[in-house]
C-alpha cells in the first residue's frame, strides 16, 4: 500500500512497504504546514494548498498513479521484486535510479593473520628480516594455540604473560628483546593502516642486555692473513679480511673490486642495507687480495659457510684466548668461558675494523664516516674491547702501518 507522511521539518515523503523489512521511501520535495495536513488521508486538507507554485494534492496524486503504473509494469513483465519496483518507480518519476546493494562488512583481520601477511610481504620484497619475523611468529602461535586474537588483545596483560612465556621457553634476554621489536613493528604497521586503534603496544618496554661481543686485534687479523690455505677456505678467509680492512657489512663485501678504487686509493660504496654512502681508504692488503683474483672477488659464500669456516680457521690461526661470556637465559644469568675463535662470525670483521681504528686513536665521528653509521649510539655497539687489553696495546697499535 502506498501512502504519504510528513516528517519533522514538513517535507512530504512517499512510502510503500513492500515487505515488513523493505520499504520504498522517496521525497516529493514538497513542504507543508502540519496544520494544513490530513494525517488520516495522507493528503493536504485542501486542494488549494500549494508549495513553490505547485498544488500539493495534484502532485501527490501523480506520485500515487505513477507508483501503480510501475507496479502494473512489473506484474505484467513478471519481474515484481523490491529492487525492480523501486527502480521502475524512480524511472517513471524521472528520478535517478539508485542501485542499493547490501554491502558486506569486511571481516576484521586478526593479529596473527596480519602478522603472517607482513611476513609474506617482506618475503616478496626480499626484505631479509622476514626470517626473523617468522621466528617470533613461531612463539606467538605456540602461545595462542591456534587462535587469532584481535589487535586489542595485544595489550599490557599480553605483554606480561607472553614475556613470562618466552622466559619459560629458555629464551635469552636479547632474543626476547627482538621478539618484542618484531611485535611492535607489526602492531605499528597495522595502526598506520587503521586496522586498530589500540596504543598499549607502544608502552611495551624492551630490555636489551649488553652482549659480550669480540673483535680481532691487528695481530690476530694478520695471523689469518698469513695462513697458507686454498680452495673455499682461502675464499672465506679473504672475504672476511675485506670486512676487517674496510668495515663493510657482509652484504657489501663482494662489491669491492679494483675498478671502484680511485687513484688516491679511495672507494665510495653505498650500503645495500641502509643506502648510506661510505668513503673508505682501501688497505694495501685488500688490493693484494683483489689482484690475486684478477681485480674482483669470486662468488661470495653464504653467511652460514663463512661463519662456520672462519671459526675453524681462527682455531688454525691459534686465536684461542679465553673469553668470559655472560648471558641471561630463561631468567637466569649464565656465565661461561669460550675460546675466542668459537665466537668469530662474519659480523666480527666490521666490529674489528671500527674497534681497531678507535684503539689507534681515530675520532669516532671520522670512523663513522667510513662505516656509514648515522648516530654515535649505534656506532658504539661496535666498540667492544677489554679495557686491560686496550690499555696495553693502545700506544702500540697502528692500523694502517703496514700499507
The pLDDT tens digits of the residues spanning 273-310 come to 777 778 889 999 999 999 999 999 999 999 999 999 99
Q: By the 8 A CB rule, do 350 and 378 touch?
A: no
pTM over 0.85: no
The pLDDT tens digits of the residues spanning 180-232 come to 999 999 999 999 999 999 999 999 988 877 665 788 999 999 999 999 999 99
Grid coordinates representing 132 are 626473523
Q: What is the pLDDT of residue 287?
A: 95
> What CA–CA distance (Å, rounded) separates 290 from 260?
12
The pLDDT tens digits of the residues spanning 74-92 come to 888 888 888 888 888 888 8
Closest C-alpha among 143, 167, 168, 166 to residue 154: 143
Strands 11-19 and 22-31: what pairing? antiparallel
Q: What is the pLDDT of residue 385?
A: 43
**Domains of the chain by start residue, with CATH:** 2-93 (no CATH), 111-203 (1.10.150), 218-393 (1.10.443.10)
Q: What is the pLDDT of residue 349?
A: 94
Q: By the 8 A CB rule, do 215 and 325 touch?
A: no
Q: What is the pLDDT of residue 208?
A: 74
User: How buried is residue 177: exposed, middle or buried, by Cβ count under 10 Å (0-12/13-18/19+)?
Assistant: middle
Q: By the 8 A CB rule, do 224 and 241 touch?
A: yes
Q: By the 8 A CB rule, do 128 and 106 touch?
A: no
Strands 277-281 and 43-44: what pairing? unpaired
Q: Give the residue ranges of the chain where pLDDT is below 50.
A: 103, 385-392, 394, 400
> What CA–CA distance (Å, rounded) separates 262 from 285?
16
Q: What share of the chain is helix, strand, coil (3-state, %, to 5)?
A: 50, 15, 35
User: How buried is residue 397: exposed, middle or buried, by Cβ count under 10 Å (0-12/13-18/19+)?
Assistant: middle
> What CA–CA distance (Å, rounded) separates 64 from 52?
20
Q: By the 8 A CB rule, do 372 and 363 touch?
A: no
> What CA–CA distance (Å, rounded) separates 15 from 292?
91
Residue positions counted in the chain: 403
For every residue of 92-152, DSSP letters joined together read HHTPPP----PPPPPPPPPHHHHHHHHHHHHHHTT-TTHHHHHHHHHHHHHHHTT----GG
For every residue of 222-288, DSSP letters joined together read HHHHT----HHHHHHHHHHHHHHHH---GGGGGG-BGGGB-TTSEEEEE-TTT--EEEEEPPHHHHH
Amino acid at each position: 500500500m502506498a501512502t504519504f507522511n510528513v516528517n519533522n521539518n514538513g517535507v512530504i515523503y512517499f512510502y510503500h512497504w513492500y515487505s515488513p523489512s523493505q520499504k520504498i521511501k522517496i521525497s516529493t520535495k514538497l513542504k507543508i504546514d502540519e496544520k494544513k495536513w490530513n494525517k488520516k488521508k495522507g493528503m493536504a486538507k485542501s486542494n488549494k494548498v500549494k508549495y513553490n507554485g505547485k498544488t500539493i494534492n495534484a502532485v501527490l496524486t501523480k506520485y500515487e498513479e505513477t507508483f501503480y503504473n510501475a507496479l502494473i509494469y512489473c506484474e505484467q513483465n513478471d519481474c515484481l521484486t523490491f529492487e525492480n519496483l523501486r527502480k521502475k518507480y524512480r524511472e517513471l518519476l524521472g528520478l535517478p535510479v539508485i542501485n542499493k546493494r547490501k554491502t558486506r562488512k569486511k571481516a576484521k583481520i586478526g593479529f596473527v593473520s596480519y602478522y603472517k601477511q607482513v611476513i609474506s610481504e617482506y618475503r616478496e620484497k626480499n626484505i631479509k628480516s622476514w626470517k626473523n619475523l617468522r621466528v617470533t611468529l613461531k612463539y606467538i602461535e605456540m602461545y595462542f594455540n591456534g587462535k587469532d586474537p584481535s589487535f586489542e588483545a595485544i595489550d599490557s596483560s599480553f605483554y606480561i604473560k607472553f614475556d613470562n612465556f618466552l622466559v619459560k621457553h629458555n629464551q635469552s634476554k636479547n632474543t626476547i628483546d627482538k621478539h618484542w621489536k618484531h611485535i611492535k613493528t607489526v602492531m605499528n604497521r597495522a595502526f598506520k593502516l587503521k586496522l586498530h586503534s589500540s596504543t598499549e603496544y607502544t608502552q611495551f618496554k624492551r630490555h636489551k642486555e649488553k652482549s659480550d661481543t669480540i673483535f680481532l686485534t691487528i695481530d690476530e687479523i694478520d695471523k689469518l692473513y698469513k695462513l697458507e690455505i686454498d680452495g673455499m677456505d682461502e675464499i672465506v678467509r679473504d672475504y672476511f679480511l675485506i670486512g676487517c680492512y674496510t668495515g663493510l657489512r657482509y652484504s657489501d663485501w663482494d662489491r669491492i673490486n679494483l675498478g671502484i678504487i680511485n687513484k688516491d686509493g679511495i672507494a665510495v660504496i653505498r650500503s645495500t642495507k641502509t643506502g648510506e654512502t661510505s668513503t673508505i681508504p682501501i688497505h694495501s692488503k685488500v688490493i693484494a687480495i683483489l689482484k690475486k683474483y684478477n681485480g674482483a672477488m669470486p662468488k661470495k659464500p653464504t653467511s652460514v659457510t663463512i661463519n662456520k669456516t672462519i671459526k675453524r680457521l681462527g682455531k688454525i690461526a691459534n686465536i684461542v684466548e679465553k673469553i668470559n661470556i655472560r648471558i641471561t637465559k630463561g631468567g637466569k644469568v649464565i656465565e661461561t668461558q669460550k675460546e675466542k675463535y668459537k665466537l668469530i662470525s662474519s659480523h666480527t670483521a666490521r666490529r674489528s675494523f671500527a674497534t681497531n681504528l678507535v684503539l689507534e686513536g681515530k675520532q669516532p665521528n671520522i670512523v663513522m664516516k667510513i662505516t656509514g653509521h648515522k648516530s654515535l649510539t649505534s656506532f658504539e655497539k661496535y666498540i667492544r674491547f677489554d679495557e686491560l687489553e686496550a690499555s696495553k696495546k693502545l700506544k702500540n697499535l697502528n692500523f694502517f702501518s703496514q700499507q
